[in-house]
Structure 1
Amino acid sequence: MKATAAALAISAPLLFFAAGAGADEQRFDHYQGAPSATVTEALSNLEAYNEYLATLLAKDALSDADMGKIHQLSYTLENALQRLDQELDDIAATLEEVHLGSEQLQGDRVRHNGLDYLKRSRQLTGR
């Protein structure tokens, strides 16, 4: 029984369609994807997995195995984009503090939040 479970665990990533299912009844296995706990990790995953996706998409025709790889790697890309989306929301909130502080002539508030904004936004721009 354990051998069967192990064999299924190893082959599960290759099984994407239920046997005999029609096109509208496709059943996909789901993955967690690589985590993107930090902005740096998200950007690294985005770069690496975009390159992997580009390589697969450059083929003249996509095989079922290619489709499986794309399905699996999309989870990592989604994780990276979700982390970056969260970061952008946080950066926007920090910039709003800069904006409000400048309206109220609160120099310390503007400086503190402005420096935080620059640090975080520069992670995204690479500058």
Structure 2
Amino acid sequence: MNPVQLSIFANRLSGVCDEMGAVLRLSALSPNIKDRLDFSCAIFDAQGRLCAQAAHIPVHLGSMAYAMADLVSDRDWQPGDLLVVNDPYMGGTHLPDVTVVAPVFGAASLIGFAVTRAHHANIGAHSPGSMPVSTRLDQEGIV
């Protein structure tokens, strides 16, 4: 692949991430996603290595890139599977940031993952907004 082809391919993948974000925003009911744009979208290869990301929230994308390899390894991914995770000890940021990992298949084999991470207003904490003063993770909401 020559430098021009590589640049075109990289920009196409980035464009897919931008489109993922546009669809997420348009389909969202939450003001955190629809109005505040507190979400991020990225594409990873089959091993969980970052391929492309949209210019969304840097803290989401930075932590996602390091977490994905562990999240996707040792799983028997099938079409239609989704992994939903918000545990900070599994590469999240805090409980209200919920990550959805969707496998992408081509010709019946796993080729990568489409991933979104979005901030939800309430994840079940003791106080409204899921931002309590806590001393334990389980006091912050549902893990």
TM-score by length of 2: 0.20
Bigger share in helix: 1
> Which protein, 1 or 2, shows the higher relative CO under an 8 Å CA cutoff with sep ≥ 6?
1
Greater fraction of residues in strand: 2
Considering only CA atoms, is the larger Rg found in Structure 1 or Structure 2? 1
If the length of structure 1 is used for normalisation, what is the TM-score?
0.22
